[in-house]
């Protein structure tokens, strides 16, 4: 069976691809297993180590806060340590829940977590009990301190009373008993101090029993005072009440001694709780350490498994790669041998054809790709020989046509140069015309602006003129009103003059009466002296009244004369104001007519400016078109010159082509 070159290469390539697929599948399988181990290590084993470390930190931090809580006395510090302890407990619980979820696939982790859960629950529960005990301890210490102060104060007062009894007792028996009572009270105070200072319950119990010993301490004081009381001592009765208070402080459950015993008992219980907590934290820490060690073992196992998988995948890939290289070498030798011999024959013929010998052909011996290649080389040689013959024939025609085209291009260039000169002259003339039209348009526009300004001034003047007419009319009305007022003033002054004449007549009558009164008083003698005095007073008043009336009369005459003159002036001003109004109205009508004419001039100026602007635009378009024509003529001249040069070059190339074609060795037809 004869195989083509493509079939040989395809078969070898397919075999190599299959071997590469085997290598890829093996690598993918190995990488998948390594990735699985890596994912397992990353998502399970490493978090187990991290969560266990977080739990260790949380429980140790909680233990630290618990120890600081147990040593603190300030309420604010207690709240702060309790809050941080609760936060660490919450962190420990969250990490423990996460670790329980991760460890369900690992038996060692499940067992360690079960053990750790019991230890941690006991630790946190005992810690809470320790917190409660410490708070109770601090509360008792505060109460005891207060009660202790009250007790020692009571003992001090009791000692003072006994000292008073010793010095000022009613009898010798009381004074003698005072010394004995003082000694026993000292023993009681010493025993109480030892009880309150002791932290040993057995010692406290022994000292407490001393208070119940007959003939000692407090019992001795009570017995001695009862004897004094039976002997009729009133002081002994008072002192026995204090003894009862001291006994109550010793035996009462809420008194200082019993509270101190409870405080010592709480201290002992705290010590036991702390020992239990220390053991619990150590056990929990040991369990967490064991859990981390188990996680490390799991990580090491996962790493070893990954290394084993990588090694196996590596060895398999080496074997398959070696086999692929050997097969590739064999296929390469086989394919290259089947290609080299026929290719050598084809290359020898192609070398001859490349050197210009188109008469040689390849001898076809096979039906594979190289047989087809030989056939195509022969066909190529035949077609190339035919083309060379056609090129040789066409070169002569191209040479002749190129010479003719060069002559035509030279004539075309001359005509284009002349057209360019004429177009340039036309463009220059149109540009001058455009500049002139632009100046006309600018002048028309300036005239329109001047007419517009004059029009606006005329409008403003007409408005001002209208205001003047209004004001002059108003002034005429006011002058008319003033004339009426002054006429009324003239009438009022005439009335005042009449009234003054009456007053002057009354003054004359009064003067006459005063004279008559003086005459009558002179007749009456001493009895008419009072009338004489009144007559003397009335005469000057009447005389002054008459003088004032004459002055007012003179002023009124002047006022009447001025009022008549003012009326005449007002009448003249009214006539002049009416004449001014008439002339102002005529001026307003003239301004209105001028405003209409200016509007027509402005409209004509706008039309002139618009027409000049349109003419400028048209001139600009014509100038642009002429310039464009000049540029096109210049470009046409340049293209004609290039065409002439191209025709010359084409003629030269045709000659060169004939020389090149003559180098080929063609077969004889």
- Does 384 reside within a domain? no
Here the tokens at position 76 are 């604010």
Per-residue confidence (pLDDT) for residue 652, from 0 to 100: 76
- Does 635 reside within a domain? yes
Assign 247 to helix, strand or coil: helix
Domain end call among 328, 355, 375:
328
| 536 and 514 within one domain | yes
- Does 146 reside within a domain? no
| 423 and 557 within one domain | yes
Specify the long-range contacts of residues 44-50, CB closer than 8 Å, at least 24 apart. 44/102, 44/105, 45/295, 45/298, 45/299, 45/302, 46/299, 47/98, 47/99, 47/102, 48/99, 48/102, 48/103, 48/106, 48/109, 48/291, 48/295, 48/298, 49/292, 49/295, 49/296, 49/299
- Does 244 reside within a domain? yes
| 570 and 451 within one domain | yes
| 105 and 22 within one domain | yes
Per-residue confidence (pLDDT) for residue 307, from 0 to 100: 74
Specify whether the CB–CB gap between 445 and 604 falls below 8 A. Answer: no
How many other C-beta atoms are found inside a 10 Å radius of the C-beta of residue 339? 16
Domain end call among 202, 233, 258:
258
Q: How far is CA 83 from CA 36, 180, 284, 322, 556, in A?
A: 42, 57, 22, 69, 112
Specify burial of residue 466 (Cβ count, 10 A radius: 0-12, 13-18, 19+): middle
- Does 364 reside within a domain? no
Q: What is the pLDDT of residues 545-580, one digit of tens each?
A: 667 667 766 776 776 676 577 667 666 766 766 676
- Does 349 reside within a domain? no
Here the tokens at position 90 are 């919450």
Here the tokens at position 479 are 């002058």
Rounded to a whole number, what is the distance in angstroms from the first to the last CA of the chain? 42
| 614 and 482 within one domain | yes
Among candidates 470, 488, 480, 493, which has minimal Cα distance to 569? 480
- Does 361 reside within a domain? no
| 211 and 123 within one domain | no
| 220 and 170 within one domain | yes
Here the tokens at position 553 are 């009369």
| 254 and 285 within one domain | no
Which CATH number belongs to the domain containing residue 564 in this structure? 1.10.287.950
Here the tokens at position 305 are 């498994």
In eight-state DSSP terms, residue 42 is I
Domain end call among 200, 235, 258:
258
Q: What is the pLDDT of residues 624-633, one digit of tens each?
A: 765 776 677 5
| 124 and 53 within one domain | yes
Among candidates 107, 90, 109, 108, which has minimal Cα distance to 52? 109
The whole domain housing 596 covers: 417-643
Q: How many residues does the chain have?
A: 669
| 240 and 117 within one domain | no
What is the mean pLDDT of each successive set of 10 residues along the chain, which is 669 residues long? 64 75 72 61 69 83 87 86 90 84 74 80 86 84 84 84 81 81 85 82 79 77 83 81 82 82 82 82 81 72 72 79 82 73 73 71 70 72 72 68 65 64 63 63 66 66 67 67 67 67 68 69 67 66 68 68 66 67 68 68 67 67 66 68 69 68 62
- Does 300 reside within a domain? yes
Q: What is the number of domains present in the chain?
A: 3
Percent of the chain predicted with pLDDT > 70: 59
| 530 and 475 within one domain | yes
pTM: 0.39
With a CB cutoff of 8 Å and minimum separation 6, the contacts of 11 are 3, 331
| 107 and 169 within one domain | no
CA dist 320 and 328 (Å) reads: 12
Here the tokens at position 66 are 């618990």
């Amino acid at each position: 069976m004869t195989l083509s070159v493509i079939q040989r290469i395809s078969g070898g390539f397919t075999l190599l691809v299959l071997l590469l697929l085997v290598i890829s599948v093996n690598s993918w399988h190995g990488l998948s297993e390594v990735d699985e181990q890596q994912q397992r290590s990353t998502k399970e084993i490493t978090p187990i180590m991290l969560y266990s470390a977080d739990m260790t930190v949380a429980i140790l931090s909680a233990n630290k806060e618990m120890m600081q809580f147990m040593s603190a006395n300030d309420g604010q510090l207690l709240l702060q340590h309790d809050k941080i302890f609760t936060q660490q407990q919450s962190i420990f619980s969250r990490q423990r829940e996460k670790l329980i979820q991760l460890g369900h696939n690992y038996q060692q982790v499940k067992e360690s977590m079960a053990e750790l859960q019991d230890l941690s629950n006991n630790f946190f529960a005992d810690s809470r009990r320790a917190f409660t005990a410490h708070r109770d301890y601090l509360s008792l210490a505060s109460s005891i301190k207060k009660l202790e102060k009250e007790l020692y104060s009571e003992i001090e007062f009791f000692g003072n009373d006994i000292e008073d009894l010793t010095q000022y007792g009613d009898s010798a028996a009381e004074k003698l008993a005072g010394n004995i009572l003082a000694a026993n009270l000292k023993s009681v105070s010493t025993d109480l101090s030892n009880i309150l200072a002791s932290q040993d319950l057995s010692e406290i119990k022994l000292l407490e029993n001393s208070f119940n010993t007959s003939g000692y301490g407090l019992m001795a004081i009570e017995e001695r005072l009862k004897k004094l009381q039976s002997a009729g001592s009133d002081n002994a009765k008072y002192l026995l009440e204090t003894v009862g208070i001291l006994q109550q402080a010793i035996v009462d459950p809420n008194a200082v001694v019993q509270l101190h015993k409870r405080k010592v008992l709480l201290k002992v219980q705290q010590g036991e709780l702390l020992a239990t907590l220390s053991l619990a934290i150590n056990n929990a820490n040991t369990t967490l350490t064991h859990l981390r060690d188990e996680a490390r073992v799991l990580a090491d196992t996962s790493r070893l498994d990954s290394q084993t998988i990588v090694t196996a995948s590596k060895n398999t890939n080496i074997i398959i790669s070696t086999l692929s290289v050997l097969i590739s070498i064999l296929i390469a030798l086989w394919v290259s041998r089947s290609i080299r011999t026929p290719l050598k024959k084809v290359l020898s013929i192609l070398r001859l054809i490349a050197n210009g010998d188109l008469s040689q052909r390849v001898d076809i011996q096979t039906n594979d790709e190289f047989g087809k290649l030989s056939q195509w080389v022969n066909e190529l040689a035949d077609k190339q020989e035919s083309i060379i013959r056609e090129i040789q024939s066409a070169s002569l025609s191209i040479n002749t046509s190129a010479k003719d085209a060069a002559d035509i291009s030279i004539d075309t260039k001359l005509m284009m140069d002349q057209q360019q000169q004429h177009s340039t002259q036309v463009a220059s003339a149109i540009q001058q015309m455009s500049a002139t039209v632009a100046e006309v348009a600018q002048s028309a526009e300036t005239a329109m602006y001047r007419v517009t300004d004059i029009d606006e001034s005329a409008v403003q003047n007409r408005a001002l003129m209208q205001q003047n007419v209004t004001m002059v009319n108003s002034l005429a009305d006011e002058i008319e009103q003033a004339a009426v007022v002054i006429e009324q003033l003239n009438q009022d002054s005439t009335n005042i003059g009449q009234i003054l004449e009456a007053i002057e007549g009354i003054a004359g009558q009064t003067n006459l009466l005063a004279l008559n009164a003086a005459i009558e008083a002179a007749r009456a003698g001493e009895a008419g002296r009072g009338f004489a005095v009144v007559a003397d007073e009335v005469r000057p008043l009447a005389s002054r009244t008459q003088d004032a009336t004459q002055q007012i009369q003179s002023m009124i005459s002047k006022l009447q004369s001025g009022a008549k003159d003012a009326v005449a002036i007002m009448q003249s001003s009214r006539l002049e104001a009416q004449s001014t109004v008439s002339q102002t109205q005529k001026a307003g009508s003239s301004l209105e007519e001028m405003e209409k004419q200016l509007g027509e001039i402005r409209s004509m100026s706008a039309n002139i400016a618009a027409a000049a602007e349109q003419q400028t635009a048209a001139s600009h378009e014509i100038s642009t078109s002429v310039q464009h024509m000049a540029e096109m003529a210049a470009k046409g001249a340049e293209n004609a010159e290039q065409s002439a040069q191209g025709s010359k070059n084409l003629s030269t190339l045709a000659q060169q082509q004939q020389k090149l074609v003559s180098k080929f060795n063609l077969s004889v037809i």
